[in-house]
Structure 1
């Protein structure tokens, strides 16, 4: 019997896998999950997003906002970088006085600049940065920040695709 290999993933599938892996890691480390599933477009729409393309096909939950910062999002701790467009944000109180946060935004700013814009306020607030031991080669920039013996944790990843960066941030913080 001849040896054959399965065809590779369709174009754009890596974008979904990398972003999905980062989000899954953030949710796993923070011990929280949303009750509403995310709706992703086809792989081709993920590879070249349209600014008018809807991100979610269902209404966002009470702690989530599409296209803007949700009320209660800790902007003093995680500000939106200049010139960035907020895609989705959330802030949900969880046990221990913590708030589960997530932020997805799009920007033309370079990956290092986006990470620096998030890094500065977190370090100033007493978080410690720990770059990944094994960086994901599909991400242009990534890091994690922790405070309070790891009780507070923020994971950040930046995907660089066709001259546009998408920053995904998730974690749990005291606000």
Structure 2
């Protein structure tokens, strides 16, 4: 969010900056066109804007976009991103991928992964669909006795003396489950 400092000139020539920056959203900055603030000088004379404070803010042209045009190569919406270890963490049958990510960790053979998906499958069944391939690949489960508030199921899986670690949580709401999985695993695992 842009930080704008506004300056007010009083007829005695006193210039002051407000004590704290004013934070405005991009839409407010583009729509406002002028920057105003109140600042005190020891005068009872009415304040007038300094000439530099009345200059119009540049606005985006209709062809400009405020979003980055290049896609994030490490994440995908609605699909598994390229490089996601789907052999280790397969998408359960009938589940809809919401967001996935797989980003290599610099200087290692590890990859940070995350997966968010939605399913009509019950929470224990959804957790089991993730558990089975992880345990088969040598991960050890550390189930959580009482899941965090709001979660229907939660578990942690580790291997390689804890270097590889995945945390799984399942939210049960309105007849659907949302699974969130995140952590790091070795590539080629």
TM-score tier (shorter): 0.5 to 0.7
Query: Among residues 147, 159, 167, which one is paired with 2:179 in the alignment?
Result: 167
Query: Which sections of structure 2, spanning at least 5 residues, go unmatched?
Result: 1-66
More strand per residue: 1 or 2? 2
Alignment match, 1:150: 162
Instruction: Quote the Cα distance in structure 2 between the aligned partners of 1:150 and 1:82.
Output: 29
Query: Among residues 55, 65, 89, which one is paired with 2:100 in the alignment?
Result: 89
For residue 135 of structure 1, report the CA deviation from its aligned partner: 2.4
SS in 2 for 1:173: strand
More helix per residue: 1 or 2? 1
SS in 2 for 1:99: strand
Query: Which sections of structure 1, spanning at least 5 residues, go unmatched?
Result: 1-56
1:68 aligned to 2:79? yes
For residue 138 of structure 1, report the CA deviation from its aligned partner: 1.2
Alignment match, 2:25: none
SS in 2 for 1:141: strand
TM-score normalised by structure 1 residue count: 0.65
Larger radius of gyration: 2
1:103 aligned to 2:111? no
State the 4+ residue runs in structure 1 displaced beyond 4 angstroms: 57-60
